[in-house]
Amino acid sequence: MIGHTKEMRGGTLIEAIVTLVLGLLLVQMSLGALARGHTLHQGLLERADALKTVRIVRWVLRAELSKGHPGEDWMVHDADSIVLRAYRGVAFPCLITTGRLDVTYRGGRDPDPEKDSVLLVYESGETDVRALERWGPGASCSWRLGVSPSGWSAQQWAVEGVLDSGLVAVRLFESGSYHIADGALRYRRGRGGRQPLTSNALSTPESGIRTGGAGLGVSIVMKSQGGGDWTRWVSLARQIR
Amino acid sequence: MIGVTPHLKHVSDGFVLPLLLLLLLALTALAHSALLVATAEFRMSRIANDLAAAQQAAEGALVQLPGALLGLPGRVRVGESVVVDIEPVPTATLRVGVSRLSRESWFVQAEAQASEGRQASEAAVFWRLDPIARLTRLTGAVTVPTGVSRSGAARVETEALWTDAECPSMESALDSAFVAGSPKGVEPSNVAGSIGLGAITMDDIHRLVPPTLGRSGTPAPLDSLGSCGEATWNWGGADPVDTPCGLVHVVRSSTGDVDIVGGEGRGLIIIHGDLTLRDGSSIVGMLLVTGRLRLTNGAYFRGMAFAGEGVRVDPSAHIVGSICVAAASLNAASGALRVFLPLVGATRLGQY
């Protein structure tokens, strides 16, 4: 019994050491697997965020810039900003009297004289920018245009100055600028603050607006915690004047 | 055996199994989270792809649209809207609505629906030359911008609205547009558009009507094998006679000054520079001159003219204003000039 007890003790110690070593190995492998899984997961999140940022930049800037002409409606102000007339709607006049327009209007939002101006488009192709002074519901303009007749509303606008004949369309816009600064794409209306449109994941000033042989575009470089830059080119316009 | 069994039992109660289970649980949670992210990303990519396809189809429709609109002007009145069919694209179904805003302005909206149901639309305002609308912009037999010289205006007469049968098909339209009769004399105008052709720029004109006229020439009718030839200086005849060139209205343009020395012709003449008619030349139709218009030494012009830098009619020359022949010339030029052009300032209105 004594000898047997000794054998048992020795075995317990060895087993305990082996178990401890194996346990430590297992813990290390487990932690390694968890860490690797976490890194992969983090990378996936970063990539998803990067793709979302690319999509937002492409969609927003392309939509805004395509509504105007370079040099007239928008211009690249610096490597990090584009100044533009951000068009928000279009109106077609039914009745023109001194400084007053009865129009049928369709847009992303209602007019706001506090921040909006109008671009008058004449039949000759000439244009003129005026301030929008007032607006309200109208009754006399019943046009329903295009393929989706709904969405148009009759309004009455008061516009600064005298209006010439031959007016075809009136475009509503606000002055604004898009910036790639402080880690995000930002929109600034007038002289207001710069509001972020994407997550704060851009690497600046490496990211920015670039012009060259390929036209105008945005070079996007994402911040990456795992090291290694994630870079994409978003083309906005083939040619700019 | 009594001592061994509790010991073995103690070993099998270790932390390996719970640890492995916890590890598997954590990895499963991570994998599940990654799957959710990937699925969301896939869904967003598909939506973005569908939207891009729809947007591209709508934009493409506006590009190919002008050809599809050519038959419309006679069918759609001002204030009316129609839906037109255009060539389908494989990536989306398309609907195009066309509304006539005025005689020359057209609102066009293309709406595309991609296979997954995403919709996008694109709109623009197009401009298309209308002879009546153009003529109503003229203030005189010769229209000039305000402030330029008008020498010899006394030798510009104006005939009654209808003196012959050269434009019978347009009589009712012209009658309603010119209730007070033809514009008279040489009159200034602050009308927008430097050459009197509305939204058509000189570049457009040179693209549509290649500038073939040289520095000087003598136009003359040239009948050839029963038809009127198409030589640069064959402008038909000034008087309507029963020959192949008798009632032809030509369209000609230049990129610089032109002297017309004698000869005769009929049509729409667009000069990017000064135009001089001399030595008894006799021209009928419409003259659009960005520079100075000068008639000298027995030259004669009948029709309507726009002169961007003034007009001079010498004592031996004279002009007879005629809405009728100007309308006929503009109308005859429809094949070349009446295309749908995107109106600058409203070329793309975007999606609202």
DSSP string, B110-127: EEEEETTS-EEEEEEEEE
Q: How many CB atoms lie within 10 A of CB B79?
A: 13
Instruction: Tell me if A92 and B198 make a contact (CB, 8 A cut-off).
Output: no
Q: How confident is the model over A6-42, as pLDDT tens digits?
A: 555 557 888 888 888 988 888 888 888 888 888 888 8
* Exposure b/e, A167-180, CB count within 10 A at least 16 = b: bbbbbbbbebbbbb
Question: Are the Cβ atoms of A145 and B81 closer than 8 angstroms?
Answer: yes
Residues of A in contact with B14 (CB under 8 A): 19, 23
- CA distances to A109, B259, B303 from A143, rounded to whole Å, are 19, 50, 38
Listed in sequence order, the residues at least 6 apart from A166 whose beta carbon sits closer than 8 Å to its beta carbon are A122, A123, A124, B191, B192
Rounded CA separation A105/A118 (Å): 12
- Give the pair of three-digit tokens for residue B87: 């060539």
pLDDT in tens, A44-61: 888 888 888 888 988 899
- Contact by Cβ (8 Å): B91, B157: no
Beta pairing partners, B252: B269
Backbone dihedral region of A151: left (phi > 0), alpha (psi from -120 to 50 degrees) or beta? left
Chain-chain contact of B352 with A15 (C-beta, under 8 angstroms):
no
Structure tokens at B43: 């869904």
pLDDT of residue B271: 94
Find the closest chain B residue to A70 by CA distance: B345
Interchain contact, A125 vs B99, CB within 8 Å: no
SS3 A237: strand
pLDDT score recorded for residue B94: 86
| pLDDT on residue B191 | 59
Closest residue in chain A to residue B103, using alpha carbons only: A123
Distance (Å) from the C-alpha of residue A208 to the closest C-alpha of chain B? 23
User: Could you give the 3-state DSSP secondary structure of residue B205?
Assistant: helix
Take residue B349 and report the two structure tokens written for it: 């209105």
| Residue B148 CB burial class (10 angstroms; 0-12, 13-18, ≥19) | middle
Residue of B337, B317, B318, B186 lying closest to B269 (CA atoms): B337
The answer to whether B259 and B219 are in contact (CB under 8 A) is no
| Interchain contact A59–B (C-beta under 8 A) | yes
Helical packing angle, B16-69 and A2-66, nearest 10°: 10
Instruction: Look up residue B14 and give its amino acid.
Output: G
Q: What are phi and psi of B237, to 5 degrees?
A: -110, 155
Pairing of strands B300-307, B282-289: parallel
- Name the nearest CA neighbour of B323 among B154, B153, B150, B131: B131
CA A50/CA A231 separation, integer angstroms? 9
Among all chains, which residue has been given the structure tokens 């009769």?
Answer: B181
pLDDT reported for residue B244: 81
pLDDT higher at A112 or A147: A112
Decide if B126 contacts B343 (C-beta within 8 A).
yes
Instruction: Give per-residue pLDDT as tens, B129-151.
Output: 888 888 888 888 898 888 888 88
Instruction: Using CA coordinates, name the residue in chain A closest to B195.
Output: A124
Phi, psi of A2 (to 5 degrees): -65, -50
Please give the pLDDT value at position B69. Answer: 73
What count of Cα atoms within 13 Å lies in the side-chain half-sphere of residue A184? 12
DSSP β-bridge partners for residue A107: A89
Interface test with A, best of B105, B109, B191, B200 (most A CBs within 10 A): B105
Which contiguous run of DSSP H or E holds residue B302? strand B300-307
Place of tokens 């934009």: B59
A147:B83 CB<8 A: yes
Pairwise CA distance, residues B232 & A50, whole Å: 61
Among candidates B7, B95, B344 on the partner chain, residue whose Cβ is nearest the Cβ of A12: B7
Report the relative pairing of strands B119-127 and B105-114 from DSSP bridges: antiparallel
DSSP assignment of B22-87:
HHHHHHHHHHHHHHHHHHHHHHHHHHHHHHHHHHHHHHHHHHHHHHHHTT-TTT--TT-EEEE---
Nearest CB to B348; choose among A67, A106, A143? A67
C-alpha span between B205 and B290 (Å, rounded): 13
| Residues contacting B348, CB < 8 A, separation 6+ | A66, A67, B62, B122, B123, B124, B342
Query: CA of A48: which chain B residue's CA is closest?
Result: B41
Q: What is the pLDDT of residue A1?
A: 46
Residue type, A152: W
Residue A122 to residue A38: CA distance in whole angstroms: 60
Rounded Cα–Cα distance for residues B158 and B59 (Å) = 48
Encoded tokens for B102: 């005025």
Of B81, B102, B111, the CB nearest to A144: B81
Q: What is the pLDDT of residue B12?
A: 56
Rounded (to 5) percent helix, strand, coil in chain A: 25, 40, 30
Asked if the Cβ–Cβ distance from B198 to A26 is below 8 Å, we say: no
- pLDDT of A119 above 90: yes
Cα-Cα-Cα-Cα torsion A161, A166, A171, A175, nearest 10 degrees, comes to -50
pLDDT, one tens digit for every residue, chain B (352 residues) = 444 455 555 555 666 778 778 878 888 888 898 899 889 888 888 888 888 888 888 888 888 777 777 777 677 888 888 888 777 778 788 888 888 888 888 888 888 888 777 888 888 898 888 888 888 888 888 988 888 888 877 788 877 766 556 666 566 677 777 767 778 888 888 655 556 678 888 888 888 888 989 899 999 888 877 788 888 898 888 777 777 888 788 999 999 999 999 999 999 999 999 999 999 999 999 999 999 999 999 999 999 999 988 899 999 998 998 888 888 888 888 778 878 888 877 777 877 6
- A12-17, long-range: CB within 8 Å, 24+ apart, which pairs? A12/B7, A15/B11
DSSP structural state of residue B199: T
Q: Which of A64-68, A228-232, B98-102, B108-112 has the lowest mean pLDDT?
A: A228-232
Token readout for A34 is 């968890």
d(CA A28, CA A2): 39
Q: Given the structure tokens 């000189």, which residue do they identify? A: B202
Chain A / chain B CB contacts < 8 angstroms: 161
Instruction: State the complex-level ipTM.
Output: 0.78
Q: Do B27 and A147 touch (CB under 8 A)?
A: no
Q: Is A26 exposed, middle or buried (0-12, 13-18, 19+ CB in 10 A)?
A: middle
Nearest-neighbour CA in chain B from A37: distance (Å): 7
Judged by CB atoms closer than 8 Å, whether chains meet at A168 and B30 is answered as no
Look at residue A241 in the predicted model and tell me its pLDDT. 44
Query: Which residue in B340, B237, B350, B80 sits closest to A172, CA to CA?
Result: B350
- How confident is the model over A136-151, as pLDDT tens digits? 998 777 777 777 777 8
- B224 and B208 Cβ atoms separated by less than 8 Å: no
Contact in structure between B41 and A48 (CB atoms under 8 Å): yes
Cβ contact A168–B14 (<8 Å): no
Task: Note the pLDDT of residue A10.
Answer: 56
C-beta atoms of A38 and B30 within 8 A: yes
